[in-house]
Amino acid sequence: MRKCLVSLMLALGLLTTVSAPAVAAERPKLVVMCFGGAYQNFFETELIPEFSKANDVDIVLAIGLAKDWMAEMRASGKDKAPYDVLMFNEIWSAQMRREGYMLPLTPAMIPNLDNAMMQVKDPTNGDVLGVIGVIQPAGLGYRTDLLPNPPKSWKDLWNPEYKGQVGLYTLTNSLGAMTVLSVGKVWFGDEHKYDEAIDKIAELKPFKQTDFSGDMEKLLSLGEISVGVIDMPAVARLRQQGLPLGWVEPEEHMVMFEQVFSIHKASKYPDLAAKWIDYILTPEVQEKFTKRFFTTPAIKGGTVPDELKTEVLGPEAVSRIASWDWNAFNDAKARLIRVWNQKINR
């Protein structure tokens, strides 16, 4: 009986060993901000497969817009990260940096950091809190068939020949904010002359307004405006579709749509987040962005393919893009929106 019991126990032990295979460790999931549409498709097909394989990580895209991401971050608090890799336009990135959500970046974390054309820093201590990885220069686009005398400068928008033919972004769009800042700088010598700039813009009435970049493209495409503030990549894309469009770099300065990449200070995977940002700053990925979105390389020594040189500015143009005091503007923004509505929308 004893012998049978021992044999049974051994058999059960053997069965236990056989029926309990080793459980593979779950791969980390890195949550990365991303826009929907073309951006999502690009990330999923051109970026994620290579990065995931090289780093043994799953990338989870958080599809949305800045207002959604900011609301979620604030609701979660600074000690819990709903996203690991942050991607904002600078107007929003500046706000979230000031609220204390970003992890300082170093070349030890991101070897390509010092190769970036533009970094964003904490003004109090100089810590690098983000790096610009996507650059879309913006200036003035126009219909070559409708505007015989194209603009050369920001001030040319006030040319009487353009009356009623101008398109601008509203103040709630970052490019609309940069238009106000540009008008303050160009007409009054100081980007902080917000009220004077809005008064000056009111002189352009009537003009078309939009708060979404795709709508500015539609206004130009349909001929509802002849000239408008728009990014160069959008014009390049529309020209490839056969539309009669030109684009001008204003002689005073350019502005830009940009994407600032940062790491949430409470990320569970800061090392992997740093690797993602380093990946974005590689020549290979920058060239992919340029070929897909006509973006200007955001790294030193970045190149533009020969077939795109008439449509895309090289990295040497970055020095001609204006930088702004976004903290001051964000402090005044709520009041300025009211002023805009009173003076522009009435």
**Tens digit of pLDDT for each residue in 12-44?**
444 444 444 455 678 999 999 999 999 999 999
Per-residue pLDDT, 217 = 95
How many angstroms separate the CA atoms of 244 and 85, rounded?
39
Fold equal for 29-135+257-314 and 136-256+325-343: yes
The domain made up of 29-135+257-314 is a member of CATH 3.40.190.10: yes
Enumerate residues 6+ apart whose C-beta is below 8 A from 58.
Answer: 27, 28, 29, 30, 52
Give me the percent of the chain exceeding a pLDDT of 90. 90
Angle between helices 213-221 and 232-240 (to 10 degrees): 50
Is the pLDDT at 226 greater than 50? The verdict is yes
Domain ranges (residues) in the chain? 29-135+257-314, 136-256+325-343
Q: What is the CA radius of gyration of the chain?
A: 25
pTM, entire model: 0.90
- Per-residue 3-state assignment (H helix, E strand, C coil) for the chain: CHHHHHHHHHHHHHHHHHCCCCCCCCCCEEEEEECCCHHHHHHHHHHHHHHHHHHCCEEEEEECCHHHHHHHHHHHCCCCCCCCEEEECHHHHHHHHHCCCECCECCCCCCCHHHECCEEECCCCCCEEEEEEEEEEEEEEEECCCCCCCCCCHHHHHCHHHCCCEEEECCCCHHHHHHHHHHHHHHHCCCCCHHHHHHHHHCCCCCEEECCHHHHHHHHHCCCCCEEEEEHHHHHHHHHCCCCEEEECCCCCEEEEEEEEEEECCCCCHHHHHHHHHHHCCHHHHHHHHHHHCCECCECCCCCCHHHCCCCCCHHHHHHECCCCHHHHHHHHHHHHHHHHHHCCC
Per-residue pLDDT, 7 = 47
> Which CATH architecture group holds 136-256+325-343?
3-Layer(aba) Sandwich (3.40)
Residue 111 backbone dihedrals phi, psi, to 5 degrees: -55, -30
Whether the CB-CB separation of 241 and 216 falls below 8 Å is answered with no
Per-residue pLDDT, 346 = 82
Least confident of 23-27, 104-108, 311-315: 23-27
Burial of 61 (0-12, 13-18, 19+ CB in 10 A): middle
**255-295 per-position pLDDT tens digit:** 999 999 999 999 999 999 999 999 999 999 999 999 999 99
* Bridging pattern class, strands 58-63 and 166-169: unpaired
Q: Mean pLDDT for the chain? A: 93
Band of the pLDDT at 9, cuts 50, 70, 90?
very low
* Bridging pattern class, strands 208-210 and 85-88: unpaired
Band of the pLDDT at 214, cuts 50, 70, 90?
confident
Per-residue pLDDT, 24 = 60
Whether the CB-CB separation of 338 and 203 falls below 8 Å is answered with no
Give me the percent of the chain exceeding a pLDDT of 70. 93
